[in-house]
Structure 1
Amino acid sequence: MLLLQRANELLAENKLREAEFMYKSVLKQSPKNGAALFGVGRICMRLEQYDNAIYYLKRACEHLPKMLEPLFALADAFLAVGSPVDAKTVLEYTLSVAKHNAQAHYQLGQFYLDYGFIEQAKNVFKAGLSCPHSAVTAFMLYELVQMSKPNALSSYLIQLTKLEEEFETPRLKTVVYYAKAKCHERLGDYKLAQEHFALANETQLSLSEFRTLDMLPFFESIKRYCGQSFFNKPSDKVKTTFTPVFIVGLPRTGSTLLEQMLVQHSNIGTLGENTVISDKIVPYLSMRNNAEFPACLNQLSNSMLDHCRILYVDEIKRHRVSEEVVINKLPANFQNLGLIHKLFPEARVIHLTRNFKATAWSVYSNHFAESEPYFCSLSEFALYAQAQSDLMSHFYQFMKRDIFTFSYEQLIAEPEKTIKKCLGFLYQKYEPECLDFHKSKKPVHTLSKAQVRKPISTQPLEKWQRYEGFIEKMIPQPQSDQTTQANL
């Protein structure tokens, strides 16, 4: 037991190799020890050794029949290897043996939601409300108030008010405030909605450990290190077997909608909002050059860049993306465009823009898991948006031919025309299936997961106008109507 306890401590400290040694020492003595099997399975997940993870997690589930965590981890492992059918089987089994567990309902409901089974998700979340309250009860209500019919909302408001009294932690209160705001909005009480959106954002902002102003020197340093001399240095003659595509911009500018339209094309696949550049490539360069980003870009040898390309290709293989065009739609990759240009000189960059006030309100009125200041303050978002616009203008000087900019409003107003031009930029011919994106069951993991299961609507274009006075009050400084000008 001491070995197992120490292994758990090491895993908590992210000392994976030491923890693995301890767990396997336990398994030598007791091959059926479920806790040790689960520990090794979790380590395999962190190391992205998913086939091994499935092996150990299956065995852990056999020997820990009353624990749900190994089952949830096994479902995640199946999703990681591109087997949603197996993940669905595991999650449905979990719910069948834990009908009174709110977490089991939430996990299965989220799976249904991610894969476009909206009605099934709604039913599972509703059933989960009868379970003893836990943190996920607030998250289930947050989803339900956005997908249920108006006649159910009054009941949800009562439940949310009770949770508001039960929960003490700011993080959970934030979710309740957002859910109540969405509820009031759908009931047409925009004054109460605005008050609760403000409560939600103020509470979440209190959890942030920095402010957007702290980031501005970082953005300026990117301009310095990725200036004229950086782009003047000859790039490798790289010939890739795929076309890397990066959709960048501010959050809530329509990147999920665009991605879902594009991936209906027979030659286009996606990595989703993938962080391989910031999580693997940048740390490697920082280690090799003994400098943080962006200073680590000062010396980029061919061997370093080759290794970075291998890391990116490995990520594509891990996600089993076999199409000719590979999308990465992480909006924050606008910070990495200089590095992306060096890695893949032929990369295509799609820059999405949107009316500033509409973007600001969409960010302000949606709950982001991360307590970053620009997600939960209109004034903080204005600073971030200006910094993003300035950096895009900087990169546009050097990458004009590689960046295609258009607006969310253009995509909504003329979807076929816009997608045709976008596909032309990606060297692809138009396929009409791109307009049938809402019928797809491909997974979506962003805040727009339910919205993209519906045909294109102009409603989001006008929603923010109900709160225009509040937006202007919170953002006193002048802002451009458009986050960045389009070149469509």
Structure 2
Amino acid sequence: MLLLKRANELLADDKLREAEFMFKAVLKENNKNGPALFGLGRICMRLEEYDSAIYYLKRACEFLPKMLDPLFALADAFIEAGSPVDAKTVLEYTLTVARHNAQAHYELGQFYLDHGFIDNAKRTFEKGIMCPKGAVTAFMLYELVQIVPKTELEGYLTPLHELLNEYNNKRLKVVVYYALAKCCHRLADYNQAFDYFKLANSTQLEYCDFKTEYMQPFFSSIKARCNTDFFATPQDTVNTTFVPTFILGLPRTGSTLLEQMLLQHTNIGSMGESTVISDKLVPFLTHRSESPFPNCLHNLTTSVLDHCRSLYIDEIKKLRVGEQAVINKLPANFQNIGLIYKLFPDARIIHLTRNFHATAWSVFSNHFAENEPYFCSLTEFQAYAQFHDDTMSHFKAMIPRNIYSISYEDLLDEPALEIRKVLNFMYQEFQPECLEFHKARHKVNTLSKAQVRQPLNQAPRSNWRHYEKLMSTMLPADHNAQTTTTDP
């Protein structure tokens, strides 16, 4: 027991190899020890060794039949390994053995939601909120108020207010505030909705430990490092079997919509919002040069770049993406354009733009899990948007042929024309299936996962106008008429 306890402590401290050694030592004494098998499964998940994770987690479930966490972890492993059908089987089985467990309902409901089975998600969440209340109840209500018919919304106000009185945890209250705001918005009670959105944002802002203005030296250094000389240096000749494609921009500018439209093309695959550049490539460069990003971009030799390319390609292989064009749709990759160009001189970079006020409102009215100031303050978002615009203007001047800009509004107005233009930029022929994106069952786990299961509509471009006067009280006067992108 002491060895197992120590192994779990090491795992909690992220000392994976030491923990692995101890878990295996436990299994030498008893190869049916469920907690040790579960520990090894979790280690494999962190190491992204998903096939091994599935092996250990299956065995853990066998010897821990009354525990749900190994089942949830096994479902996650199947999803990461590209086997959503198996994940669905596991989660549906979990619900049969834990019918009164709210977490079991939430996990299955989220799976349905991520894969476009909206009605199934609705039914599962509805049963889930009838279970004994817990932290997860707020999250199920948050999802429900966005997908149920308007005629059912009134019935959710009372349970949400009850949760506010029951929860002492401010982070959970934030979720409830957002749910109440979404509910009021759909009921056209815009003043009340705005009050709840303000409460949600101001409460979450308390957990942010920096201000957006502190990022100015970082963005200035990006432009200074990735200057004319940086791009004038002769590029390596790079031959890849795929076209590296990056969809980037500010959050809530339509990247999920564009990705889903492109994914209907037979030659296009996606890594989703992959953080491989910031999580693997940049740490390698930082360690090698003993300097932070972007200063670590100096002296990028061919061997260094080859290693970084290998790390990126390994990630694609791990995700089993084999198409001719491979999308990475992480919006924040606009910071990494210099490195992207050095790695893949022929990379296709698609920059999405949107009316500033519509974008700002969409960010302000959605719950981001990350406690970043620009996700929960209009003024902070304004500052971040300015950094973004300055950075993109810089890179567009440096490598104009690599960057194609498309506005969200144009995509809504003329989807066929705009998709043809994007596909041409990606060296692909138009396929009409791209316009049937809402019928697909690709996994979507962004904030737009329910929205992209519906045909295009104009509501997203005008929702902010219900709050135009209220927003003006929170943004500096000189910015109220400014648009950083397009303003139809």
* Counterpart in the other structure of 2:459: 459
| Residue segments in structure 1 that go unaligned for 5+ positions in a row | none
Contact 1:82–1:320 (Cα < 8 Å) also in 2: yes
2:40 corresponds to: 40
Q: Which residue of 1 aligns with 2:180?
A: 180
Q: Secondary structure of the equivalent of 1:219? A: helix
CA distance in 2, matches of 1:180, 1:459: 20
Question: Could you say which residue in structure 1 is the equivalent of 2:484?
Answer: 483
Q: Tell me the residue number matched to 2:364.
A: 364
Contact kept? 1:247, 1:351, Cα under 8 Å: yes
- 1-side partners of 2:235 and 2:434: how far apart? 34
Offset, 1:481:
4.5
Residue 276 of structure 2 corresponds to 276
Which position in structure 2 is the counterpart of 1:133? 133
Q: Deviations over 1:239-278 (max 9, x none)?
A: 1111000001000000000000001011100001110000
Q: State the one-letter code of the partner of 1:25.
A: A
- State yes or no: 1:226 paired with 2:222: no
Q: Tell me the residue number matched to 1:258.
A: 258
1:299 is matched with: 299
Give how far 1:485 is off: 6.0
Secondary structure of 1:475 counterpart: coil
Once the two structures are superposed, residues 22-59 of structure 1 have per-residue CA deviations (whole angstroms, 9 ceiling, x without a partner) of 10110001110000000000000000111110000000
**Secondary structure at the residue paired with 1:224?**
helix
CA contact under 8 A between 1:205 and 1:376: conserved in structure 2? yes
8 Å Cα contact 2:34-2:63 kept in structure 1: yes
After superposition, the Cα gap between the structure-2 partners of 1:481 and 1:434, relative to the gap in structure 1 and judged at 3 Å, is: farther
SS of the residue corresponding to residue 125 of structure 2 reads: helix
State the shift of 1:451 in Å. Answer: 0.3
| Equivalence map 1:18-417=2 (5 Å) | 18-417=18-417
Q: Distance in 2 between matches of 1:99 and 1:304?
A: 53
- C-alpha separation in 2, matches of 1:386 and 1:189: 32
TM-score, normalised to structure 2's length? 0.98
Distance 2:62 2:484 in 1: 53
SS at 1:299 equivalent: coil
Q: In the TM superposition, what is the alpha-carbon distance from 1:477 to its structure 2 partner?
A: 4.8
Describe the superposition over 1:224-249 as per-residue Cα deviations: whole angstroms up to 9, x where unpaired.
11111111111111111110000010
- CA-CA distance at 1:150 after TM superposition: 2.1
- State the alpha-carbon separation in 2 of the partners of residues 222 and 210 from structure 1: 20
| Bigger Cα displacement from structure 2, 467-476 vs 321-330 | 467-476
Secondary structure in 2 matching 1:245 = strand
Letter in 2 for 1:249: G
Is the Cα–Cα contact under 8 Å of residues 355 and 486 in structure 2 kept in the other structure?
A: no
% identical aligned pairs: 64
What is the DSSP-based 3-state SS (H/G/I as helix, E as strand, rest coil) of the residue aligned with 1:428?
coil
Post-superposition Cα deviations, 1:375-402, rounded to whole Å, max 9, x if no partner, equal: 0000000000000000000111111011
Equivalent runs, 1:403-482 vs 2, <5 Å: 403-479=403-479, 481-482=482-483
Q: Distance in 2 between matches of 1:462 and 1:205?
A: 26
Residue identity matched to 2:384: Y
Taking the aligned partners of 1:241 and 1:481, their CA distance within structure 2 comes to: 43
Q: What's the secondary structure of 1:258's corresponding residue?
A: helix
Of 356-365 and 152-161, deviating more is: 152-161
Deviation at 1:218, TM superposition (A): 0.6
CA deviation map 1:379-428 (0-9, x unaligned): 00000000000000011111101100010000000000000011111111
Separation in structure 2 between the aligned mates of residue 109 and residue 373 of structure 1, nearest angstrom = 29
Secondary structure, in 3 states, of the residue corresponding to 1:474? Answer: coil
3-state SS of 2:456 partner: coil
> Does structure 1 conserve the Cα–Cα contact (< 8 Å) formed by 2:356 and 2:486?
no
8 Å contact kept, 1:26–1:33: yes
Query: Aligned AA for 2:9?
Result: E
Q: Give the Cα–Cα distance (whole angstroms) in 2 for the partners of residues 203 and 215 of structure 1.
A: 22
Q: Which amino acid counterpart does residue 297 of structure 1 have in structure 2? A: L
Q: Secondary structure at the match of 1:352?
A: strand
In 2, distance between residues paired with 1:400 and 1:281? 24
Structure 1 position 61, deviation (Å): 0.2
> For 1:74 and 1:483, how far apart are their aligned partners in 2?
44
Return the letter of the residue paired with 2:104.
A
SS at match of 1:57: helix
Q: CA deviation at 1:151?
A: 2.6
Instruction: Report the counterpart of residue 14 of structure 1 in structure 2.
Output: 14
* Cα distance, 1:356 vs structure 2: 0.3
SS across alignment from 2:444 = coil
Could you report, residue by residue, the CA deviation over 1:193-223 in whole angstroms, capped at 9, with x for unpaired residues? 0000000000000011111011111111111
Partner Cα separation in structure 1 for residue 96 and residue 261 of structure 2: 36
Give, as a single letter, the amino acid of the residue that structure 2 aligns with 1:256: T
Deviations along 1:57-105, one digit per CA (max 9) or x if unpaired, are 0000000001000000000000011000000000000011001110000
- Coordinate RMSD, CA, aligned: 1.0
The residue type equivalent to 2:296 in the other structure is C
Rounded Cα–Cα distance in structure 2 between residues aligned with 1:133 and 1:59: 31
Runs of at least 5 residues in structure 2 that lack an aligned partner in the other structure: none
SS across alignment from 2:70: helix
Query: Would the aligned equivalents of 1:4 and 1:23 in 2 still touch at CA under 8 Å?
Result: yes
Separation of aligned partners in 2, 1:117 and 1:347: 34
